[in-house]
Structure 1
Amino acid sequence: MSDDPADSFTRARAAAGVLFFNDRDQVLLVDPSYKSYRDIPGGYIEHGETPRQAAGREVTEELAINPPVGRLLVADWAPNDTEGDKVLFIFDGGTLADDQLAAIKLDPNELTGYGFHNVDQAHELTISRLARRIVHGHAAKQDGTTRYLEHGEWSC
């Protein structure tokens, strides 16, 4: 057993994503080629990046668009039995304009499709923990707050 107290500290991985909406207040979900469920645009944060920078980079890589990444909507402490501890950040991407939608080109190595969906269908469209983040992110966007979650659950 180590005498270094830092050995007991978590080494959480961090990821960042973006919630984009259309003019009907539907959320953009992507179809990753390497997952069995829909997701939001985003991915893991690389060394030297901030969460917002990572979110922007991932959107550009996955969708080939570069809209501004807005304010933080959700921070979620999300340990996973198979993947370890994670901290997940979700930012507001706002409403995509018609020209931005027309410019989307999916990275064929990562995505097979995308679509806009009603937020209240999130639990039918993706895994539970992500659906909870989407619902809380949408609510935070509407009420001007940032939500701190644990395991996708609002703890306030």
Structure 2
Amino acid sequence: MTEPNPAESFASARVASGVLFFDTEGRILLVRPSYKPGWDLPGGYVEIGETPVQGAVREVQEELGIKPPIGALLVADWAPATGEGDKLLFVFDGGELAPEYRDRIELEAAEIAGYAFHDPELVDTLLIPRLARRVKAAIEARSQSATLYLEHGETYRGALPN
């Protein structure tokens, strides 16, 4: 008889990192991926051997052609998706994107069709619901100089379900 392998029951999540950048007017930077509809944060999946912040830096450089400083973690979101399995998504603070970086943005056409700064109040109309919740939580975390833990984009308040 073969002994069961306890590791088979461990979560094996995909990890992705995004960055929340602002302009001088407080609008957030969103990118329009060329491979899917709608808007998104700059970022993507973390590769083997990378930390989440290293993945964020690499993805921003690949998508936008710039390497601005990346700040503190704003949000960690446990958000499994049907058909995609377990996911752990991070959002880091990119702060106000300085003109020397904004002026040097060069899109990776194979991945990014466009970018624009948007009023944060429009995230519900621009982003899919789970991403909109995550971005709003990241904006809240930034305003509080905090890090928030989310589940499916909802702030976990410490109450376990029945």
- TM beyond 0.5: yes
Change (3 A) 1:107 1:2: farther
Structure 2 residue runs without a partner (length 5+):
158-162
Identity of aligned residues (%): 53
In structure 2, the partner of 1:115 is: 116
In structure 2, the partner of 1:92 is: 93
1:1-156 to structure 2, matched below 5 A, reads: 3-156=4-157
- Partners of 1:89 and 1:2 lie apart in 2 by 36
Pairwise CA distance, 1:151:
0.3
TM-score using structure 2 length: 0.94
- Partners of 2:3 and 2:36 lie apart in 1 by 38
- Partners of 2:63 and 2:3 lie apart in 1 by 42
Pairwise CA distance, 1:31:
0.2
Pairwise CA distance, 1:38:
0.5
| CA-atom RMSD in angstroms | 1.1
Pairwise CA distance, 1:82:
1.3
- Partners of 2:148 and 2:100 lie apart in 1 by 31
Over 4 Å off, 4+ runs: none
Tell me the SS of whatever aligns to 1:18.
strand
- Partners of 1:87 and 1:12 lie apart in 2 by 6
Pairwise CA distance, 1:99:
2.0
Structure 1 residue runs without a partner (length 5+):
none
Q: Structure 2: which amino acid aligns with 1:99?
A: E
- Partners of 2:3 and 2:155 lie apart in 1 by 35
Change (3 A) 1:101 1:36: same
TM-score using structure 1 length: 0.97
- Partners of 2:141 and 2:134 lie apart in 1 by 10
Pairwise CA distance, 1:2:
6.7
In structure 1, the partner of 2:160 is: none
1:30-65: CA deviation from partner (whole Å, max 9, x where unpaired): 000011120000011111110001000000000001
Q: Structure 1: which amino acid aligns with 2:108?
A: D
- Partners of 1:12 and 1:99 lie apart in 2 by 36
- Partners of 1:2 and 1:50 lie apart in 2 by 33
Pairwise CA distance, 1:23:
0.6
Tell me the SS of whatever aligns to 2:103.
helix
1:120-148: CA deviation from partner (whole Å, max 9, x where unpaired): 11010010000011101011111100010
